[in-house]
Amino acid sequence: MPAEIKPIRTAVFPVAGMGTRFLPATKAIPKEMLPIIDRPLIQYAVDEAREAGIEQLVFVTGRGKTAIVEHFDHAFELEATMKSRAKTLELLEPTRIRPGNLVAVRQQVPLGLGHAIWCARAIVGNEPFAIFLPDELMIGTPGCMRQMVDAYAHVGGNLISVLEVPREEVSSYGVIRPGARREIDGMTLTEVTGLVEKPNVAEAPSNLIVSGRYILQPEVMHILERQETGAGGEIQLTDAMAQMIGSQPFHAVAFAGKRYDCGSKVGFVEATLALALARPEMAAEVRAIMQRLL
């Protein structure tokens, strides 16, 4: 990595949302703790961050979200019981976070994604940082953030992951205005010349959507500080990023993997089935169940 490109050491996870689309399941359980087979959604995002070499994790939480932090805490009673019964603790290893590497900050008022990221400003400081939206389950080898960190080592600046969707779906997402494309180590990087949050289909500059993974320079916090509202009357991260285009390098990385929208019930079910079919110990039984149901 060139000396002028600072490494990515911190990841921000905005997890303060109320999960209303999954009620009543999320009345007492954070949506990020809903399991895909045997791991909660947040665990997949944390695993992806650690694979990318990111160790400091910042959870931007809200009321009723303590279970997320507790999931990564030391569970003395559970571990003592497992040891007494000669059970391996290997299954708990992914939940172990090095002391001091997990920070929780509070988003006291739900003012939008941009506001949630701004709440982490004191922890981020003057360093570039990553953002993970846990609802977006990204499955690939290497993981999405690992691919982005590898690309960042070449180009620096700001990066976002993108995926191509049918044109009629663009109004549900942030969409990029693409510039020049180039290949680096088998990755496709596209210059981002503009960003539009949830555009009308007829006005969308492309069908490349922002897909829940970001590497941003700390200057974005200065823009978010202004608390300017955008689509839906909320403080939009997309709007803040758009203001950085032209003053800093800005690229999109086409993720070579699969994305599941676990913010929707159908996407959640799809992710569960797909990951079950990818598990050798259960794939045959799950496939047989699916065939019987069909």
Domains, the chain, ordered by start: 10-263 (3.90.550.10), 264-294 (no CATH)
Residues in the chain: 294
3-class DSSP assignment, residue 169:
helix
Whole-angstrom CA distances from 131 to 118, 136, 213 are: 12, 11, 6
- pLDDT per residue of the chain (294 residues) written in tens, 0 to 9: 454 788 899 999 999 988 889 999 999 899 999 999 999 999 999 999 999 999 899 999 988 888 999 998 888 888 888 888 888 888 888 888 887 799 999 998 888 899 999 999 999 999 999 999 999 999 999 999 999 999 999 999 999 999 888 988 888 888 898 898 888 888 889 999 988 888 888 888 998 888 899 999 999 999 998 877 776 777 888 888 888 998 889 999 988 889 999 999 999 999 999 999 999 999 999 999 999 999
Which residues is 159 bridged to in the sheet?
215, 251
Please state, in angstroms and as integers, the Cα–Cα distance from residue 97 to each residue in 6, 57, 72, 175, 213, following that order: 23, 9, 6, 34, 21
Q: Summarize pLDDT for 64-93 with one digit per residue, the tens.
A: 888 999 998 888 888 888 888 888 888 888
Q: What is the pLDDT of residues 10-40, one digit of tens each?
A: 999 999 988 889 999 999 899 999 999 999 9
pTM for the predicted model, two decimal places: 0.91
Report the pLDDT value the prediction gives residue 218, as an integer from 0 to 100.
94
Q: What are phi and psi of 86, to 5 degrees?
A: 60, 35
Of 35, 30, 39, which Cα lies nearest the Cα of 62? Answer: 30
Rounded to an integer, what distance in angstroms lies between the CA atom of residue 136 and that of residue 259? 7
Q: Are 141 and 244 a contacting pair, CB within 8 Å?
A: no
In whole angstroms, give the CA distance from residue 33 to residue 13: 13
Q: List Cβ neighbours of 187 (8 Å cut-off, separation of 6 or more).
A: 147, 150, 151, 253, 254, 256
Q: Following CA atoms 169, 24, 119, 198 in sequence, which dihedral angle do they give, to the nearest 10 degrees?
A: 10
User: CB within 8 A of 115, min separation 6: which ones?
Assistant: 107, 109, 224, 227, 234, 235
- Neighbour-count burial of 230, counting CB atoms closer than 10 A to its CB (0-12 exposed, 13-18 middle, 19+ buried): middle
Q: What is the pLDDT of residue 272?
A: 96
How far apart are alpha carbons 146 and 118 in whole angstroms? 24
Q: Which tokens go with 143? A: 């993981």
Q: Can you tell me the distance from the alpha carbon of 172 to that of 187, in angstroms, rounded to the nearest whole number?
A: 26
